Each structure stands twice: as C-alpha cells, then as structure tokens.
C-alpha cells in the first residue's frame, strides 16, 4: 500500500483526464462530499441488524490481520466485538508470548530472534474448498515466514521461515484440501544456487541475477504439520498477491506480478513502463508431480521451522539445511503468463472457479479472465511468445471481459455466491458491486476512507455466505473522536443480503488490517479448548502438586518449580538467591476450570509477565541486579483473594552464605537447605 499511495498520486492527473466523463459521485468518495450524505442516512434499523444482546453470541468469528503489529485480531460479527488478540510474529507482553522461555523459540529465524513482523493475509484451512475451522494460516512479510494458529486454542503453534524469499507477500494460500500452502516472494533477490540463499550481486545485475520463488508447503492431514516440500524459482519480477482456483481450476494457483520490467530502482516509475504486467498461472498439482518424479534440484539452505508441542507447551526450533527447487523452463505445462493491466494488485477467483478477476490498481477497467478459455489456449498453443521459457498468452484469447468504469484504484474483490462480485476502489473510496456474468456495475457504496481488502465470510471459497461484507479502510481521519496524530484503522460492516448494499456499522481495528477471514461460529466454537488437562502436561519442569514444589541451585542458576492456584503460589517465600543469579520460575497453574489463568510477574524482570493457562506450565527468566526482597504477584484478578496472591524472593549480595530456603504457610516444615553457592 505504501508504494501504491504514492504511485496513485503520481498518475492521478492522467486518471483525472481518463475519467472526466465518469459519474461525478465516483470521484467524490474520498474526501467526503456527496459520499458523506449517504453515510449519514444509515437506515434506522441498522443498529438492530448488528445488535447482539448481552450474553448472546455472534454468528461469525472474523480474523483480521494486524499488519504491522504482527498479530491477528478476532472479532465477532455482526457486533464488531473484539474477542481476542492472537500474537503470532510479535512478542506480546500481555501474556508473555515471545518473552517466556517456552515461546521464545517460535520467533527464531536464520537472522536470529525476530520479535516482529508485518502480517497481511489470514487464510483458514480448507476441506473440499470450504473453510474447515481447524487452522488459520498467516504470512510474515518482512522476514519471510508462514505461521499456523490452532483454532482449538487460538494459539500460534507453528512458524516456518521461508528461504530464498524476500517480502513474503503473496502468501499463504491453501489449496482446496490443504494439500499445500503456497507462499510467494514480493521482492526478487539474487539467489546463489550453489552456496544457497541470497548471493552478493550488484544492483546493476538485477535483470540477470535476481529471481523470485514460490514455496510449496505440504501439510500433514492428521496434525496439520507443515513441511517445505519444494520451491519453484520464477523470473525476477515482484509477486504481489495470489489465490487458488476452485472447481475446474482447483489444480491451479494464480499470482499477480509487477515490475516485469525488472527495474532495480525507483520502482514507482521503473515498474510502470510496460503497459502490461502478468498474471502468473501455476498448475500446483503438476508442479508437485514434477517434484515427486525427480525434476527437482537441491540447493543448500538455512531456515527455521518452529513448532509448539501440544502437551508440554514448549516450542522447539528445527534448522533445515536443504531445499528442493523446480525451474519452470524444465517443467512444461506447469506455468503460464497472462498479460494483465499494469502493476495489478489482488487476484480473486470466483466461487465457480471459472473467472479470475485482476484488480489493476492503475487500470481504468477490471479485467476478468476465463479459466476455460485459458485451457483452450493451452490446447491450441495460442501463445504470444515466452518469458524465460514460460509461455505468454494473448490477452484477448484468455479474457472473458472487462468491467467498464468500475471506479478508481481497484485493489481487491470478493464474491457473494449469488453471482456478484464486490471490489474495493482505493482512490474513489467505495465498494462496487458488479455481476460476474454480464460485468455490469449494480451498486456503489462509499466507504470511509480508501479501502484495501474487503471480506465476505467464505467469500474466497466454493460457497460464500453472502450476508455481510467487511471492508477495511486505510484512512480514518474524521470518523472517530480524534486521538492525536495516530488513529486506529476503521472497518465497516455492510449488509449485502439485498440488491443494494446497506451500511451497518463502523468499528475500530488494531494496527492495519489487510485481509481477513470469517467463518460461521459453530464451525469453531464447539472445538474450543477450555483448559489444559494437568494429567497431559508433559512439561519437564511441571509440578502437579504443591508438595512437589522446589527451589534448587545449579551453579549460578536457581530453578524455582512453583504452583499457582486460587489464591496462592507455592512456594511464596524464597531465600538464598544472589545478585546476578539466573533465576527461572517454572510456574504450573493447577486449576482445572475454564477461564482461570494466573499471571506471574516479578519486580525488575527485563521481560514481561507470563500468563499461565489452567493446566499449563510457563517459565520466566529473571536476573536480579540488586540485593533486596522482591515481591512477585499474580497479575490476573482470579478470585476475591487475588490481591493476596503474592510472595517474596530474598536476594542477597553475591557470595553471601544465605542458604536456599522456601516455604508457603506456617505449617509446612522448611525443607533442609540445599547445597549453598560456589
Ligand atoms: Cu492489498 Cu498486503 Cu493484501 Cu494490504 S495487501 S490492502
Ligand atoms: Cu491468581 Cu490473581
């Protein structure tokens, strides 16, 4: 979006000329004017349409990406209630994710510990072309990664780094039965096929040395475990967005490309010289077949694959040293290029799988390509040359038609399952409804302001649930009470059940939502875990009864195996710690009841609290730098005596002879002192 905004400003005068004859209303959306009037006349029954009475549940879960906060926010629809924030690529002080010892490995990469990313696209796992409510896959854009959130716990359980990639933007796209999760590079980079990874090259060698990659991540049907099966090394364009086919096109996945000029500098100009860029079509099934049949080469690699163990709740990192790759020029029939309007953004495939909509953000029309015509063109070898051995179709031979005057700056499209498509217009600030068959515009809804993605529950699946549409806007300006220079981004909920769109609700969102997904609540809610079973806790430092709690010293490390239950920690009095020791609190929450986490925090710790779910064990590291008696306490108001849920650690000067000693309560005998220091 950052590039886009600027690019649009640059070409705005040209577009202005191009659209002088267009309906005035279209151009006014952005800055207010006509548009505002319609919004001010929100139907009087709009409130009732989104009202979920206290104590009742929403009809849908929606998962909004957090963009530059590296998280996913979960909202109920239609109410717009915020239900949860799921940390994925970002440390989350609120619950200790990325701060406590168990979750730190989740954020390890070949670049070291990377506690942040830019998360754009949530995609639900699929069965038979429909969201199945098991997992949510998301991409990390900046340090290329794909993560998996388990929807029984709403926790991030797997993160895979993507080698040979830079700017993992067209990612992650599950195929219709989750066979593969596809992830493409945004930035091409010079790949060193011998030594592996990125090579050293001059930017002036861009055209010859830079390449993109599309990663094929295989998933295990039983536990969803990911594995990078192979990559396809593609020409050195920029790859923007992707989407999988369905039905007849189910074996295919489509990627928009820009900078097919292969310009290494000032891309806002350099990447806009050609009138057309490409929509890349890849037959993933054929690619998998080629890879299985020995067409793949192997190169060295170095990437992390981090997984969270379900029972111990401990994440482990696995470093992988090889990757297989295919070259399109060696794999006939695997990849084709469709000329598309210059610098296209979103690519969206309709529910029937026949129509591919290319959202050419700089284009005056919205082209819709036909999958059956593409098949025909392949059969007739109806090509217009090739690029790096990849056949290029003639625009006309694969084009179904163009939506005329759709609006300005089309970015993304979703479908309602009733034959209609809805596209966001970034520049003219509107959602435009059009018919997929006759390509006629049916309705326009001004939105506030400058929409990016939009989402209809199931709108990217075989059978959308065409009742609501959520549009995620980039600019908030005057929509809410001002909060200084930074405003939360705004989402708007639109009723699409009738012929005309109906604006229902504005709600603020966290950081910058790009894409979102939604699913009927009954596909997820019944599987939601209420607490972890203490019996099944395999954490090696778990303490399952208070009498097993202990404090032990090993050299300069003091290990505190502690329990928490309403409303005390065992032990709550600890002595014998010295300045500069590494103290690790392993806290097991003994509760076996829903919604009774205990938090643990200690004064001066250089990390965060950790919030321990019932039945789980979590570990917080603390290195006291001063002598004194330091309180620790439970941070989550868990009972009427929550405020009493506290304790002390005595820290003596380095080299002191205070023995290790710990207790809770008066009755418990103090265990014999452990071996003292050094
Ligand atoms: Cu359009 Cu990253 Cu999907 Cu933002 S992207 S809007
Ligand atoms: Cu435990 Cu508050």
pLDDT of residue 672: 56
Three-state SS for 536-573 is HCCCCCCCCCHHHCEEEEECCEEEEEEEEECCEEECCE
pLDDT of residue 44: 86
User: Dihedral of CA 553/558/563/568: which sign?
Assistant: positive
CA 275 to chain centre: 32
pLDDT of residue 22: 38
Share of the chain above pLDDT 90, in %: 87
pLDDT of residue 671: 57
* Closest CA relative to residue 282, chosen from 251, 316, 257: 251
In this prediction, residues 398-422 reach a mean pLDDT of 98
Lowest mean pLDDT among 23-32, 104-113, 459-468, 659-668: 23-32
pLDDT, tens only, 79-95: 999 999 999 999 999 99
pLDDT of residue 300: 98
Residue 256: pLDDT band by 50, 70, 90 thresholds? Answer: very high
- To test the pocket of ligand 1, the residue of 65, 70, 514 to mutate (highest count of ligand atoms within 8 Å of its CB) is 514
Distance CA 121, CA 123 (A): 6
In this prediction, residues 524-539 reach a mean pLDDT of 98
pLDDT of residue 665: 84
**pTM higher than 0.85:** yes
In this prediction, residues 436-452 reach a mean pLDDT of 97
Q: Do 640 and 666 meet the contact criterion of CB atoms below 8 Å apart? A: no
* Residue 606 CA, ligand 2 centroid: distance in Å: 21
Distance CA 58, CA 75 (A): 9
In this prediction, residues 39-44 reach a mean pLDDT of 72
Q: Do 122 and 92 meet the contact criterion of CB atoms below 8 Å apart? A: no
- State yes or no: pLDDT of 394 exceeds 80: yes
Q: Do 406 and 366 meet the contact criterion of CB atoms below 8 Å apart? A: yes
pLDDT of residue 41: 66
Q: Which residue owns the Cα nearest ligand 2 atom 1? A: 598
pLDDT of residue 494: 98
pLDDT, tens only, 347-386: 999 999 999 999 998 899 999 999 999 999 999 999 999 9
pLDDT of residue 337: 98
pLDDT, tens only, 109-131: 999 999 999 999 999 999 999 99
Domains and CATH numbers, the chain: 60-527 (2.130.10.10), 536-663 (2.60.40.420)
Ligand 2 close to Cβ of residue 636 (< 6 A)? yes
In this prediction, residues 87-104 reach a mean pLDDT of 98
pLDDT of residue 248: 98
Q: Which ligand is nearest to the CA of 609?
A: 2
Query: Which atom belonging to ligand 1 lies closest to the Cα atom of 452?
Result: 6
pLDDT of residue 8: 45
What is the residue-averaged pLDDT of the chain?
A: 92
Cα–Cα separations (whole angstroms), residue 254 to 280, 291, 341, 345, 380: 6, 19, 15, 12, 21
pLDDT, tens only, 295-307: 999 999 999 999 9
Residues pairing with 375 in the sheet: none
pLDDT of residue 614: 98
Ligand 1 close to Cβ of residue 345 (< 6 A)? yes
- State yes or no: pLDDT of 320 exceeds 60: yes
pLDDT of residue 26: 38
In this prediction, residues 450-461 reach a mean pLDDT of 98
Ligand 1 close to Cβ of residue 241 (< 6 A)? yes
pLDDT of residue 438: 98
pLDDT, tens only, 570-588: 999 999 999 999 999 999 9
- State yes or no: pLDDT of 668 exceeds 60: no
pLDDT of residue 667: 58
Burial classification of residue 53, based on how many CB atoms lie within 10 Å of its CB (0-12 exposed, 13-18 middle, 19 or more buried): exposed
Query: Which atom belonging to ligand 2 lies closest to the Cα atom of 636?
Result: 2
Lowest mean pLDDT among 157-171, 174-188, 264-278, 584-598: 264-278
The residues, any chain, with a CB within 8 Å of residue 563's CB and separated by 6 or more, are 543, 545, 546, 549, 569, 570, 587, 588, 589, 590
């Amino acid at each position: 979006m950052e590039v886009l905004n600027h690019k649009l400003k640059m070409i705005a005068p040209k577009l202005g000329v191009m659209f002088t004859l267009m309906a005035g209303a279209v151009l006014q959306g952005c800055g207010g004017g006509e548009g505002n009037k319609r919004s001010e006349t929100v139907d009087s029954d709009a409130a009732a349409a989104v009202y979920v009475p206290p104590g009742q549940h929403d009809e849908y879960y929606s998962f909004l990406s957090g963009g530059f906060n590296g998280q996913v926010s979960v909202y109920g629809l239609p109410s717009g209630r915020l239900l949860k924030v799921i940390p994925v690529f970002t440390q989350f002080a609120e619950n200790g994710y990325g701060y406590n010892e168990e979750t730190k490995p989740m954020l390890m990469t070949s670049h070291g510990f990377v506690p942040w990313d830019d998360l754009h696209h949530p995609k639900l796992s699929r069965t038979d072309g429909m969201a199945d409510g098991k997992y949510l896959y998301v991409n990390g854009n900046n340090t290329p990664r794909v993560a998996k959130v388990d929807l029984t716990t709403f926790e991030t359980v797997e993160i895979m780094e993507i080698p040979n990639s830079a700017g993992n933007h067209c990612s992650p796209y599950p195929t219709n039965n989750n066979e593969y999760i596809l992830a493409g590079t945004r930035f091409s980079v010079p790949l060193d096929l011998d030594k592996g990874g990125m090579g050293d090259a001059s930017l002036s060698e861009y055209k010859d040395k830079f390449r993109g990659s599309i990663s094929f991540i295989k998933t295990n049907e039983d536990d969803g475990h990911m594995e990078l099966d192979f990559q396809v090394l593609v020409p050195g364009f920029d790859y923007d967005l992707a989407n999988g086919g369905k039905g007849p096109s189910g074996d295919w996945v489509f990627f928009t490309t820009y900078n097919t000029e292969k310009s290494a500098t000032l891309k806002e100009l350099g990447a806009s010289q050609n009138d057309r860029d490409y929509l890349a079509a890849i037959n993933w099934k054929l690619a998998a077949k080629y890879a299985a049949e020995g067409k793949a080469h192997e190169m060295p690699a170095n990437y992390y694959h981090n997984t969270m163990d379900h029972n111990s709740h401990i994440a482990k990192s696995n470093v992988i040293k090889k990757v297989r790759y295919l070259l399109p020029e060696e794999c006939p029939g695997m990849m084709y290029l469709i000329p598309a309007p210059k610098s296209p953004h979103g690519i969206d495939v309709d529910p029937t799988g026949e129509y591919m909509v290319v959202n050419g953000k700089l284009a005056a029309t919205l082209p819709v390509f036909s999958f059956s015509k593409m098949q025909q063109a392949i059969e007739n070898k109806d090509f217009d040359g090739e690029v790096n051995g990849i056949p290029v179709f003639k625009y006309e031979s694969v084009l179904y038609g163009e939506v005329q005057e759709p609006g300005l700056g089309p970015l993304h499209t979703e479908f309602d399952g009733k034959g209609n498509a809805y596209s966001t217009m970034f520049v003219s600030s509107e959602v435009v409804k059009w018919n997929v068959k006759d390509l006629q515009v049916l309705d326009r809804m001004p939105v506030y302001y400058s929409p990016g993605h939009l989402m209809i529950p199931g709108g990217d699946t075989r059978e959308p649930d065409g009742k609501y549409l959520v549009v995620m806007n980039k600019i908030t300006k005057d929509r809410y009470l001002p909060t200084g220079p930074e405003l939360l981004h705004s989402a708007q909920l639109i009723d699409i059940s009738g012929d005309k769109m109906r604006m229902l609700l504005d709600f603020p969102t966290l950081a910058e939502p790009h894409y979102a997904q939604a699913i009927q609540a009954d596909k997820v809610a019944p599987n939601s875990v209420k607490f972890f079973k203490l019996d099944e806790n395999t954490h090696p430092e778990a303490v399952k009864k208070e009498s097993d709690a202990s404090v032990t010293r090993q050299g300069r490390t003091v290990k505190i195996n502690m329990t928490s239950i309403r409303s005390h920690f065992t032990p709550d009095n600890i002595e014998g710690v010295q300045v500069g020791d590494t103290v690790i609190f392993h806290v097991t929450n003994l509760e076996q009841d829903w919604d009774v986490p205990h938090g643990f925090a200690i004064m001066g710790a250089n990390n965060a609290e950790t919030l321990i779910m019932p039945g789980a064990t979590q570990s917080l590291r603390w290195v006291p730098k001063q002598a004194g008696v330091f309180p620790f306490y439970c941070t989550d108001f868990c009972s009427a005596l929550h405020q009493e849920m506290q304790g002390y650690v005595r820290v003596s000067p380095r080299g002191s002879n205070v023995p290790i000693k710990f207790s809770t309560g008066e009755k418990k005998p103090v265990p014999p002192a452990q071996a003292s220091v050094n």
